[in-house]
Structure 1
Amino acid sequence: MHPIEELAALRNPLPEPGTVTPEDCYADACEQVAEQRKKDALHLEAASDDLRVDPLLLALDDLKTQKEAVDAEIRRLLAWGREFHGGRPYGLEELAHRAGYSVSGVRTAYSETEIRQVAAQIGREPNRPRRDGAKGGR
């Protein structure tokens, strides 16, 4: 297998037998992954040729960008759960457990920046006013 094809296989693993429901769709799921691998390999090859960058480094850059986007989304969801949800915010322990944070990590995960983003995206202000000493923008 060519290194780019190996990278595509690592980025698009085949489903384990028994993990596809209904079971008779397993072959279709494998076929979809094989198609995605081909597309991913073509994309990696074209991008690495165009940018003259190693395909592994491109794949890592791509994952880093995805991780940063997911982290930002988690911060916005935490802000919504603590600042915008109903009459009472979600508990720190439950949010920490679900987000993979510590309780203190949830308290400091989001800032006024995320609160403003949430307010703009949902079209309303937080349920509770922020304290004067609230943490500033990220």
Structure 2
Amino acid sequence: MDRIEELAALRHPMPEPGTVIPEDCYVDACEQVAEQRKNDVLGLEAAGQELETDPLLLALDDLKAQKEAVDARIRQLLAWGREFHGNRPYGLEELARRAGYSPSGVRTAYGETEIRQVATQIGREPNRPRRDTARGSR
């Protein structure tokens, strides 16, 4: 296995036996991962040559971008749960536990930017007026 294939193997690990449900889909899951690895190798090789950048650094940049995108989606979900969900928002403690935040962290995790994004995506305004307008443009 060369360096780029090793990176692809780390980015797309094979499922462990017994982790695929239903079990008779295990072979299919392994084939899908093998295809993902193959495509990843081709992409890393092409990008590395075009950008003249080390494939490891490209892989790290890619994962960082994915992490930032997931963090943004978590903030939007927290905003939805607190500002848009029915007459009674989700509790800070439960959201904190599920999102990996402290209760005070949930309160400050999102701001007007995320609230506007959620409103635009779901096509309606928040259920209650926002009291904390000091956070402004997170």
TM-score category of the 2 structures, normalised to the smaller one? over 0.9
- Greater alpha carbon shift after TM alignment, 95-104 vs 24-33: 24-33
Partner residue in 2 for 1:98: 98
- Greater alpha carbon shift after TM alignment, 39-48 vs 120-129: 120-129
Q: How does 1:8-47 map to 2 (within 5 A)?
A: 8-47=8-47
What percentage of residue pairs aligned between the two structures are identical?
82
Q: Report the CA distance between 1:26 and its aligned residue.
A: 1.4
Q: Deviations over 1:8-43 (max 9, x none)?
A: 000000000111122222122111111110110010
- Greater alpha carbon shift after TM alignment, 25-34 vs 84-93: 25-34
CA RMSD of aligned residues (A): 1.1
Q: Distance in 1 between matches of 2:122 and 2:20?
A: 36
Where 2:90 maps in the other structure, the secondary structure is coil
Q: Contact 2:4–2:55 (CA<8 Å) still a contact in 1? A: yes
Q: Distance in 2 between matches of 1:101 and 1:19?
A: 28
Q: Please, which runs of 5 or more residues in structure 2 have no aligned partner? A: none
Q: Distance in 2 between matches of 1:132 and 1:50?
A: 47
Q: Which amino acid aligns with 2:121?
A: Q
Distance 1:30 1:133, change over 3 A: closer
Partner residue in 2 for 1:83: 83
Q: Which amino acid aligns with 1:85?
A: H
Partner residue in 2 for 1:112: 112
Q: Which amino acid aligns with 2:87?
A: G
TM normalised by structure 2 equals 0.96
Query: Aligned pair count?
Result: 138
Q: Distance in 2 between matches of 1:46 and 1:136?
A: 41
Where 1:118 maps in the other structure, the secondary structure is helix
Q: Contact 1:112–1:134 (CA<8 Å) still a contact in 2? A: no
Q: Distance in 2 between matches of 1:30 and 1:131?
A: 50
Q: Deviations over 1:43-63 (max 9, x none)?
A: 000000000000000000000
